[in-house]
Amino acid sequence: MVTPLLTTTLDATRSAVAAARARGQRVGFVPTMGALHAGHLSLIRRARAECGFVVVSIFVNPTQFGPHEDLARYPRPFEKDLAACTAEAVDLIFNPTAEVVYPPFFKTFVEVTGLQNVLCGATRPGHFRGVATVVLKLFNIVQPDVAYFGQKDAQQARILIQMVRDLHLSVEMVLCPIVREADGLALSSRNVYLSTEQRQQAPVLFQCLRMIQERIAAGDRLTEPLVQLARARIWETPGARLDYAAIVDFERLEPIDVLSGKVLIALAVFFGATRLIDNILVDVSPA
Amino acid sequence: MVTPLLTTTLDATRSAVAAARARGQRVGFVPTMGALHAGHLSLIRRARAECGFVVVSIFVNPTQFGPHEDLARYPRPFEKDLAACTAEAVDLIFNPTAEVVYPPFFKTFVEVTGLQNVLCGATRPGHFRGVATVVLKLFNIVQPDVAYFGQKDAQQARILIQMVRDLHLSVEMVLCPIVREADGLALSSRNVYLSTEQRQQAPVLFQCLRMIQERIAAGDRLTEPLVQLARARIWETPGARLDYAAIVDFERLEPIDVLSGKVLIALAVFFGATRLIDNILVDVSPA
């Protein structure tokens, strides 16, 4: 196995990508904050299968964390991440410092208005502004042909797809399915924060989503009773505190009364200070 | 003379630029709102001298106009602009409709915080957000090697240079000197709005700037008396109403008490509903 090329500067990253492109290789990009798990690896494998040159960025982006969030303690197991990228035959890891991505007197932010302040954005003000800004910066540095994102962060994916469309970027956006533990818990770098008891209760998010999905399959079309099902189920779960349960149109991220079209069913639940999210996307044909 | 290629779509524009790049040509870009005057032509000539392929965009950008500004009546003399571009041997004119640049359900804006709400931004809320957003979009469509801007819009240039730096764009930014009428009035597409009387008074902006520049040359270093000179001069000018007179650090666009380093001296003056701006940049060595 060959260790990936490791870059920390814009110039070295651009040179390596330009060389790959000069060889006629398609450039695939998986932006991450490190602490890679099987969800990230599924994105990397998809990129590996589709692209001649695979770039993974590992950067814990400060602008997407709120002042009371977990920026300082966010896991940074770099050696383990490097081994995982090596095993997946990644070509290039871009691992910049915050000063490279955000030079002094940094002033510029991207806002995806309308989509950024609902759902997770309501609980995490400024979060998606930080996400959109860093991804645009990373796209401009790496200049990939195609970028891979997990459906786990469905709102993030929706916002970034909108950004790419609105700013006329030439990046193809690929959304990959959520990877789960055997008991249904969606993989997340934050699952390591959970206590043994919290970990046992955490699959309740997916159980709620499955419950709703079954009701939709059985013919339910009104959203309010379905949302109430999830609320009640989280309410009765020890240690769980609901942040939001929502059923929204996936295009506009606005609540809908009656299911129709491409619909996002999304949950955010606190276990102590740890906030878990999960979702399913369903295509509901008109009844 | 060869008429420039005229494109209205993203694909046609990108194809033409890609073909030029494949021929090894450097791509120079002059974004404009049309109504081309000798100021624009000086940018185009500089681009023509430095680049193998010269792109001019003509697009009256709705998002940089306030609700009570002159979007509807902004001059759009397209045939005249086309003739001017032909005479300057422009290779490509990109002349999109608003729907091409801003497709339905458009949501994404760029904000250059700190720099965008002072000076002209204080009087025109949202203006520089609209400017930064459209220029980023145009850069992503045209993908130029170098772009040319006039110093007339000094704050705009400062904001765009910051945006390019912050977002890691690979565009070289060139700032070109202000072009003036014989009596000192800076060229502007809005000068056509002036009545005969207003036109006679309008050179007062440049007279103020020259007066301040002479005092600086004579050794003055305190800014407040210099700003007061301009205020008084505008006050006594028939038909003129001061919007702002400011002496700021060109890096931060923040007011300074004592002149030092690269300094922007900027004026905005209303004549009736028409707002004129002018400025000079001075490099003040420590006294």
- In the predicted structure, residue A34 carries a pLDDT above the cut 80: yes
How far is residue B132's CA from residue B113's CA, in Å, rounded to a whole number? 11
Residue B73 inside a domain? The answer is: yes
User: For the packed helices A204-217 and A223-235, what is the interaxial angle rounded to 10 degrees?
Assistant: 150
Residue B33 Cα, gap to closest chain A Cα (Å): 19
Residues A56 and A140 placed together within one structural domain of the fold: yes
The average confidence (pLDDT) of chain B is 97
Which residue in the set B112, B137, B252 is minimally distant from A108, CB to CB?
B112
Which pLDDT does position A287 carry in this prediction?
A: 56
Q: Same structural domain for residues A82 and A57?
A: yes
Number of domains observed in the structure of chain B: 2
Q: Tell me whether residue B131 is in a domain.
A: yes
Residue from A10, A108, A133, A169 whose CB has the most chain B CBs within 10 Å, to mutate: A108
Average pLDDT over residues B152-177: 98
Residue A98 in contact with partner chain B when CB distance is under 8 A: no
Mean pLDDT throughout B69-84?
96
In this structure, are A84 and A49 located in the same domain? yes
All residues at 6 or more sequence positions from A62 whose CB lies less than 8 Å from its CB, including other chains = A71, A98, A102, A130
Does residue A284 belong to any structural domain of this protein? no
Does A184 reside within a domain? no
Please name the member of B14, B168, B251 whose beta carbon is closest to the beta carbon of A141.
B168
| ipTM, interface predicted TM-score of the complex | 0.95
**A2: pLDDT strictly greater than 60:** yes
Closest chain B C-alpha to A36 CA, distance in angstroms = 26
Q: Any CB–CB contact under 8 A between A170 and chain B?
A: yes
Which of B124, B146, B176 lies at the terminal end of a domain, its last residue?
A: B176
A143 and A20 housed in the same domain: yes
Q: Which two tokens stand for residue B189?
A: 């597409």
Phi, psi dihedral angles at B27 (to 5 degrees) = -105, 115
* CB pair distance less than 8 Å for A141 and B107: no
| Share above pLDDT 70 across residues of chain B, in percent, rounded to a whole number | 99
Q: Which among B106, B110, B141 has CB closest to A110?
A: B110
Contact A110 B113 (CB under 8 A): no
pLDDT, tens digit, 9 for 90 and up, residues B223-245: 999 999 999 999 999 999 999 99
- Whether residue B112 is contained in a domain is answered as yes
A274 in the same domain as A160: no
Tell me: pLDDT of B214 over 90: yes
In angstroms, the separation between the Cα of residue A126 and the nearest Cα of chain B is 13
Model confidence pLDDT, tens digit, residues A124-150? 999 999 999 999 999 999 999 999 999
A110 shares its domain with A251: no
Task: Say whether both A48 and A72 belong to one domain.
Answer: yes
- In a domain, residue B67? The reply is yes
Domain end among B142, B176, B210: B176
- What pLDDT shows up at residue A42? 98
- How many A×B Cβ pairs under 8 Å? 72
Co-location of A129 and A38 in the same domain: yes
Average pLDDT over residues B32-50: 98
Q: Three-state secondary structure along chain B?
A: CCCCEEECCHHHHHHHHHHHHHCCCCEEEEEECCCCCHHHHHHHHHHHHHCCEEEEEECCCHHHCCCCCCCCCCCCCHHHHHHHHHHCCCCEEECCCHHHHCCCCCCEEEEECCCCCCCHHHHCCCHHHHHHHHHHHHHHHHCCCEEEEEHHHHHHHHHHHHHHHHCCCCCEEEEECCCECCCCCECCHHHHHCCHHHHHHCCHHHHHHHHHHHHHHCCCCEHHHHHHHHHHHHHCCCCEEEEEEEEEECCCCCECCECCEEEEEEEEEEECCEEEEEEEEEEECCC
pLDDT band at A220 (very low <50, low <70, confident <90, very high): very high
| CATH number of the domain bearing residue B12 | 3.40.50.620
A207 and A73 share a domain?
A: no
Chain A hits for B251, Cβ within 8 Å? 105
Reading the block at residue B3, the tokens are: 């008429």
CA–CA separation, A44 vs A54, rounded Å? 8
When pLDDT is averaged across residues B38-59 and rounded to a whole number, the result is 98
Single-letter code of the amino acid located at B238? P
| Chain A residues within an 8 Å CB radius of B113 | 107-109
Average pLDDT over all residues of chain A:
97
**What contacts B285, CB < 8 A, 6 or more positions away?**
none
Looking at the partner chain, which of B106, B112, B113 has a beta carbon nearest the beta carbon of A166? B106
B245 and B123 in a single domain? The answer is: no
Q: A194 to chain B, minimum CA–CA distance in Å? A: 36
- B residues 197-256 lying closer than 8 A (beta carbon) to A: 251-252
CA B272 from chain centre, in angstroms, equals 22
Between CA B178 and CA B259 the distance in angstroms is 22
Residue B287, in any domain of the structure: no
CA distance to partner chain A, nearest, from residue B240 (Å): 34
Terminal Cα-to-Cα distance of chain B (whole angstroms): 53
- Residue B287, pLDDT score: 57
What is the pLDDT, as a whole number, of residue A285?
81
Q: Are B281 and B211 in contact (CB under 8 A)?
A: no
Query: Across residues B268-274, what is the average pLDDT?
Result: 97
- Residues of B carrying an active site annotation: 40
Same domain, B58 and B141: yes
Same domain, B34 and B147: yes
> Mean pLDDT throughout A56-83?
97
Q: Which residue has the tokens 């420590």?
A: B286
User: Which of B63, B94, B108, B143 to mutate to probe the A interface, most A CBs <10 Å?
Assistant: B108
Q: Which residues of B touch A168 (CB under 8 A)?
A: 10, 137, 140-141
Q: Do A170 and B140 touch (CB under 8 A)?
A: yes
Q: Which residue of B has its CA nearest to A133?
A: B167
pLDDT at B285: 80
B115 in reach of chain A (CB within 8 A): yes
Q: What integer pLDDT is reported at residue A1 of this predicted model?
A: 83
**CATH number, domain containing residue B247:** 3.30.1300.10
pLDDT at position A254, please?
Answer: 97
Within a domain: A183: no
A112 contact B CB<8A: yes
A115, A165, A167 member nearest B136 (Cβ): A167
pLDDT tier, A113 (very low <50, low <70, confident <90, very high otherwise): very high
Q: Which residues on A lie below 8 Å from B165 (Cβ)?
A: 103
Provide the domain limits for residue A227.
189-279
What percentage of chain A exceeds 90 in pLDDT? Answer: 99
Q: Which of B144, B176, B208 is the last residue of a domain?
A: B176
